[in-house]
């Protein structure tokens, strides 16, 4: 039994940067258990499985797996899957091509365009930002990140389909110096609303630039080169603050640098009458490889 796959690098204009993604463009017949085994075999941050659509208005159904678990939504797999399907002519394409992917979080719209020979994807979500109270104190996150309390400016929870604990640090140097203390993480964060830690430094003004890293031990991701879902949640959460009264709030996020996989992510939140209506992230996708999985008879 053979299943085709593609490997793309997301949030990078050229191969060997950004965040790796494996895409199975036709995963019909695979069980949830089988998908999890394949995701574990690729061992990328995520692997996606494209299935027939349920809604006639959609393009296809997409399921997303980390090496340990299925997730309801993630940014780089959504953009990378849409770009891969357009690159390899699995969908009719315009310029831009508009795809609606059915994910566990609901329908996600992705516009795919080609700019100077480079494929770019921009995903858009309804602006419902989950922001529960009760985030851990900054001192606790300093311990989790092996930093000093003075290195941490603020901590808050937010999510759009996938929850994160956001930690603003005082400097880029502190971001590079941070290291997850697994014992402290287990004690102080593993049972929290979100155990996934996105830590960053930079200018939070409209149009500002951030330098970031992300770790999600519970999902089997020691460090993620690019985390689109976190960037969407971050820009949406910050846009909710009353001091941001413009119609659009934008951030540029650079991630994955210390890993040797630089990722460049653009994030935007749009507002009407002080309410966030949509959030989105965008970036380039580069094709790396394609092939076939040879699965044993009876595998599903």
End-to-end distance of the chain based on CA atoms, in angstroms?
A: 10
- CA geometry: angle at 83 spanning 213 and 122, to 5°? 60
- CA geometry: angle at 19 spanning 49 and 124, to 5°? 65
Count the helix, strand and coil residues of the chain and give each as a percent rounded to the nearest 5: 20, 40, 40
**Measured between alpha carbons, how far is 273 from 270 in angstroms, rounded to an integer?**
10
173 catalytic per annotation: no
- Please name the residues in contact with 298: beta carbons below 8 A apart, sequence gap of 6 or more: none
Q: Look-up: residue for tokens 């593993």?
A: 190
Tokens read off for 28: 């019909």
Given 41, 46, 92, 103, which residue is catalytic? 46
Q: Look-up: residue for tokens 């991701």?
A: 221
Catalytic positions, written as ranges: 46
């Amino acid at each position: 039994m053979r299943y085709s796959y593609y490997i793309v690098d997301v949030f990078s204009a050229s191969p060997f940067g950004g965040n790796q993604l494996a895409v199975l463009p036709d995963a019909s017949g695979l069980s949830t258990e089988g998908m999890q085994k394949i995701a574990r075999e690729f061992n990328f941050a995520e692997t996606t499985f494209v299935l027939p659509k349920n809604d006639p208005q959609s393009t296809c159904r997409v399921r997303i797996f980390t090496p340990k678990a299925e997730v309801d939504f993630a940014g780089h797999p959504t953009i990378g899957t849409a770009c891969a399907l357009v690159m390899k002519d699995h969908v009719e394409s315009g310029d831009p091509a508009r795809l609606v992917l059915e994910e566990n979080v609901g329908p996600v719209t992705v516009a795919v365009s080609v700019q100077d020979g480079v494929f770019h994807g921009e995903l858009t979500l309804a602006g419902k930002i989950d922001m529960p109270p009760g985030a851990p104190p900054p001192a606790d996150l300093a311990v989790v990140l092996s930093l000093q309390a003075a290195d941490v400016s603020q901590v808050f929870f937010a999510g759009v389909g996938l929850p994160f604990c956001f930690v603003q640090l005082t400097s880029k140097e502190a971001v590079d110096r941070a290291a997850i203390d697994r014992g402290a993480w287990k004690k102080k964060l593993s049972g929290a609303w979100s155990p996934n830690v996105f830590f960053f430094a930079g200018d939070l003004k409209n149009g500002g630039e951030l330098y970031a890293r992300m770790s999600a031990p519970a999902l089997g991701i020691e460090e993620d080169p690019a985390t689109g879902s976190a960037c969407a949640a971050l820009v949406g959460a910050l846009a909710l603050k009353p001091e941001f009264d413009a119609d659009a709030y934008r951030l540029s996020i650079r991630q994955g640098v210390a890993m040797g996989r630089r990722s460049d992510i653009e994030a935007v939140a749009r507002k009407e009458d002080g309410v966030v209506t949509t959030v989105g992230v965008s970036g380039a996708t580069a094709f790396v490889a394609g092939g076939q999985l040879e699965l044993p008879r009876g595998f599903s």
